[in-house]
Structure 1
Amino acid sequence: MKISARTDYALRAVIELAAAHPQRRSAPEIAEQQQIPRQFLDSVLGDLRRAGLVASQRGVGGGFWLCRPGDEITLADVIQAADGPVTTVRGELPQDLAYEGTAVPLQKVWIAMRAGLTRLLESVTVADVARDQLPAEVIDTAASRSAWR
């Protein structure tokens, strides 16, 4: 699986806002803290605002903030806001694929992969990451030697 720069930046921006809560953060502050190109960040923050994950206010005392508590926003929510569905195959959802012949069972593999990945991403909130309190399953999996293959 490839994680796009857009998804990476969106996650980092939202995690930065979760860590700052209840204070607001300006786009330049987020860009500096997370080393994200400012123009790219502006585009990503627009996507997050349209998805209802962040809000903003201009002017003195303005900035960006989360629309919901960080423990109610999952990594899956942010990824979907930034890049659309968590898993696609050639731009299509796994359940919409139509294979022929011996490849027919492959669709079930893609669907299972999507379900597993979605389940994992829905189990981790941006507050979990901001507080460095990841679910035990994530910590255990990341620590196993097989995770690094």
Structure 2
Amino acid sequence: MISQKAKYALRALLVLADLKTDSISIAEMAEQHRMPRKFLEQILLDLKHAGLVQSRRGVAGGYSLLKPADTITFGQVLRLIDGPLAPLPCLSRVAYRRCEDCHDEASCRIRRVFGHVANATRAILDQTTIADAQADPERVGRILGGIQGAA
């Protein structure tokens, strides 16, 4: 399950991708899209430090995307906000840790099943961009169909 913070981060990026103006203030985004302002401030700061969004000061200031929406993946955002996507520590690519109760990873049936889950999850999240969700919500289904067809 993704955190509420990750969900707000994805929503904020979708709002920024949909902008018809140059930028939007945190106050406007929070009010118009029913997100807690203080939480949104923290999230946008994290996204700014990661180089995904930019901010501009002043009356016409606010936040906007720094990178194109078609280059920002759901997987990238989830890893930034929530950390590794792996359901087990022994499956993480960036934060690998052997399970304390495991005697043999190679023969672990639980790891094998969740390995398939992790690979499918990564494939979908790393191929689905903010632009995909913005323009074509059904793209995720087509990505999943392509993954299942290739398996």
Report TM bin, short chain: 0.7 to 0.9
Give TM-score, length-normalised by structure 1. 0.79
| Two-structure CA RMSD over aligned residues (Å) | 2.5
Contact 1:21-1:65 at 8 Å conserved across structures: no
Among 103, 106, 111, the residue aligned to 1:100: 103
**1 CA distance for matches of 2:39 and 2:115?**
31
Counterparts of 1:93 and 1:42 in 2: how far apart (Å)?
33
Aligned to 1:126: 130
Q: Following superposition of structure 1 onto structure 2, how do residues 79-118 of structure 1 map, counting pairs within 5 Å?
A: 79-89=78-88, 92=89, 94-95=91-92, 96=96, 97-98=98-99, 99-100=102-103, 104-118=108-122
Query: For residue 148 of structure 2, what is the aligned residue in structure 1?
Result: none
TM-score (norm 2): 0.78
Match of 1:9 in 2: 8
| Residues matched between the structures, number | 138
SS in 2 for 1:56: strand
8 Å contact from structure 2 (residues 70, 132) kept in 1:
yes
Runs in 1 of length 4+ with deviation above 6 angstroms? none
Give the Cα separation in 1 of the matches to 2:16 and 2:143. 23
**Partner AA of 2:57 in structure 1:** R
1:38-82: CA deviation from partner (whole Å, max 9, x where unpaired):
111111111111111111112122111111111111111111221
| Whole-angstrom distance in 2 between the partners of 1:93 and 1:13 | 32
Alignment gaps of 5+ in structure 2: 146-151
SS of the equivalent of 1:59 reads coil
Whether contact under 8 Å (2:127, 2:143) holds in the other structure is: no
Asked if the contact 2:5–2:81 (Cα under 8 Å) also holds between the matched residues in 1, the reply is: yes
Stretches of structure 1 lacking an aligned partner (at least 5 in a row)? 142-149
Contact 1:45 1:54 in 2 (8 A): yes
Distance 2:63 2:7 in 1: 18
